[in-house]
Chains A and B, each alone.
Chain A
Amino acid sequence: MTDMPLLAVRDLSVSINGAKIVDGLDLTVERSEIHALVGESGCGKSMTALSILGLQPAAAKIGGSVALQGTDVASLSRRAAGKLRRKTMSVIFQEPVAALNPLMKVGDQVAEALIMSTGSDRGRARSAALEVMAHVGISDPDQRYDQYPFELSGGMCQRISIAAALISRPQLLIADEPTTALDVTIQAAILDLMKALRRETGMGMVLITHDMGVVADMADRVSVMYAGRIVETGPLHEVFARPTHPYTSLLLSTIPRLVGPRKTELRTIAGTVPDIGRWPDGCRFRTRCPLADAACGALPPLVAHDASVAHLAACWHTDRLEALA
Chain B
Amino acid sequence: MNDALLSVTDLRVHYPVTDRAGNRRLLKAVDGVSFDIGRGRTLALVGESGCGKSTMGYGILGLAPITSGKVVYDGQDLGTLSTAARRALLAREMQIVFQDPAAALNPKMTIAESICEPMRIRGVDAAEQDRRLRRVMDLVGLSTVQAPRLPSQVSGGQRQRVVIARALSLDPKLIVCDEPVSALDVSIRSQVLNILMELQAELGLSYLFISHDLSVVRHIADEVIVMYLGRVMEQGPTDPVFDTPTHPYTEALLSAIPLPDPVAQRARKRIVLQGEIPSPLAAPEGCPFVTRCPISTARCVTERPAFTSSSRGTAFACHERAPS
Contacts and interface: CB of A to CB of B under 8 A. Distances in A.
Interface of A: 40-41, 153-156, 183-189, 191-192, 210-218, 236-237, 240-241, 250-252, 254-259, 262-269, 272-273
B190 A256 contact: yes
Contacts of A155: 276
Nearest to A250: B187
Nearest to A181: B49
A267 B191 CA distance: 8
Contact of A185 (B156, B216, B264, B273): B273
Given A185-B252, A192-B272, A256-B216, A212 B238 contact: no
A267 B187 CA distance: 9
Q: Which of A250, A254, A256 counts the most B-chain CB atoms under 10 A from its CB?
A: A256
Contact of B270 (A192, A255, A266, A268): A192
8 contacts: A156-B276, A183-B48, A212-B260, A216-B258, A256-B219, A266-B219, A267-B190, A273-B187
Q: Which of B158, B216, B238, B261 counts the most A-chain CB atoms under 10 A from its CB?
A: B261
Interface string B197-229: 100000000000000101110111000000000
B190 A266 contact: yes
Contact of B218 (A40, A218, A258): A258
Contact of A40 (B186, B193, B216): B186
Contacts of B219: 256-257, 262-264, 266
Given A40-B185, A217-B258, A272-B155, A262 B218 contact: yes
A265 B260 contact: no
Given A256-B215, A266-B193, A268-B187, A153 B277 contact: yes
Contacts of A272: 155-158, 188
B90 interface: no
Q: Which of B189, B255, B262 counts the most A-chain CB atoms under 10 A from its CB?
A: B262
Contact of A216 (B259, B277, B292): B259
A222 to B, nearest CB: 9
Given A256-B219, A266-B219, A273-B185, A216 B260 contact: yes
A154 B49 CA distance: 10
A214 B258 contact: yes
A268 B190 contact: yes
* CB-based closest 6 A-B pairs: A213-B258, A212-B260, A266-B190, A188-B256, A256-B219, A183-B48
A272 B261 CA distance: 25
A216 to B, nearest CB: 4
B265 interface: yes
B64 interface: no
Given A192-B272, A255-B260, A256-B215, A210 B186 contact: yes
A189 B258 CA distance: 12
Given A192-B272, A263-B197, A211 B258 contact: yes
A208 B141 CA distance: 32
Contacts of B263: 237, 240-241
Range for the number of chain B residues in contact with chain A: 35 or more
Q: Interface residues of A: mostly helix, strand, loop or mixed?
A: helix
B194 interface: yes
A205 B293 CA distance: 32
A185 B193 contact: no
Contacts of A255: 186, 190, 215, 260
Given A41-B185, A184-B214, 16 more contacts: A40-B185, A183-B48, A183-B277, A186-B277, A188-B270, A211-B258, A216-B261, A240-B263, A250-B187, A251-B187, A258-B214, A258-B218, A263-B220, A266-B193, A269-B187, A272-B155
A268 B194 contact: yes
A1 to B, nearest CB: 32
B158 to A, nearest CB: 7
Contacts of A187: 256
Contacts of A273: 155, 185, 187-188
A250 B191 CA distance: 13
Contacts of B214: 184, 258
B257 interface: yes
Given A216-B265, A217-B258, A254-B186, A268 B191 contact: yes
Interface string B155-191: 1111000000000000000000000000001111111
Contacts of B238: 262
B266 interface: yes
B190 A213 contact: no
A213 B258 CA distance: 4
A185 B48 contact: yes
B157 A217 contact: no
Contacts of B260: 211-213, 215-216, 240, 252, 255, 257
Interface in B221-279: 238-239, 242, 252-266, 270-273, 276-277
A258 B254 contact: yes
A237 B276 contact: no
Contact of A217 (B49, B191, B197, B266): B266
A115 B270 CA distance: 37
A237 B262 contact: yes
Contacts of B254: 258
Contact of A258 (B185, B190, B197, B215): B215
A187 B186 CA distance: 19
B262 A240 contact: yes
A263 B255 CA distance: 22
A213 B191 CA distance: 20
Given A185-B256, A217-B266, A254 B261 contact: no
B264 to A, nearest CB: 8
